[in-house]
Amino acid sequence: MAIEKYERIEFLDHILRIDEKGDFIPVIDPNTGKQKIERVTGLPVWEALQEGTRHNQKVMNHLDKNIEFNRKYLISLEATIRRMQIQMELDGRVPGNSGTFADPLDGSTNKITLDKVMTDIIEAVAIGTTELKVANIEGFTAFTQVTIYDDVHSEDVIITEVGTGTIKVQALKNAYKKGAKVARSNIQIDTVNALMGVGDWQTYNVDLVEVV
């Protein structure tokens, strides 16, 4: 939005002259010899020491135009500040997301998206491990945050490097079983009721049947 130069009106008070007695001095109509009467208002006219700024269409339209411009500017500024606040909040809460999950609420196309990238750890890992052997690396990128969890522990770490069949992360604070999950989000979606819940460790019941 282009900023226009604002021309100040410099309003002046209407100041009347007074005589030595402190009375207003009337303006005499030369045609009648009596005090002049304002034709529009019907009020008597007095001599002015300073003519005040007229309250007219030109003055009010000047003010009205600039009030409208400033209002539009403030709305635009508010949207910009909101976007900055959201980005700062995201950077603080979800390191490395680069605004992926942000909806700045200003009509842009960067909408909320659930990142469903997930894989399994194919070998158990000990505390302090920094390299994870995983089932696949598709969708994972360096310097993004992931959640590692099994049925006992859970923690959030930053990926430092993605290799061939491996993901390097910050040193783990917990040990994890073979089959533990590495996920960008461990949210479980209930599509029937349109609800989000905490993802759970996947377990299965297996029935063995003898075939004769």
Task: Give the tens place of pLDDT for each residue, 104-121.
Answer: 555 555 555 667 899 999
Exposed/middle/buried for residue 124 (C-beta within 10 Å: 0-12, 13-18, 19+): middle
Please tell me the pTM assigned to this model.
0.43
Would you place residue 86 in the very low, low, confident or very high pLDDT band (cuts 50, 70, 90)?
confident
Q: Which helix (H) or strand (E) holds 183?
A: strand 181-183
Measured distance CA(27)–CA(36) in Å, rounded: 6
Q: What is the mean pLDDT of residues 60-85?
A: 87
Would you place residue 6 in the very low, low, confident or very high pLDDT band (cuts 50, 70, 90)?
confident
* Per-residue pLDDT reduced to its tens digit, 24-41: 999 999 999 999 999 888
Q: Given this model, what pLDDT does residue 165 score?
A: 94
- For the chain, the domains span 15-90, 118-198
Q: What is the mean pLDDT of residues 56-69?
A: 89
Of the candidates 140, 119, 138, 116, the residue with the CA atom closest to the CA atom of residue 189: 116
Does 118-198 carry CATH code 2.40.10?
Answer: yes
* Per-residue pLDDT reduced to its tens digit, 180-201: 999 987 666 555 555 556 555 5
Would you place residue 7 in the very low, low, confident or very high pLDDT band (cuts 50, 70, 90)?
confident
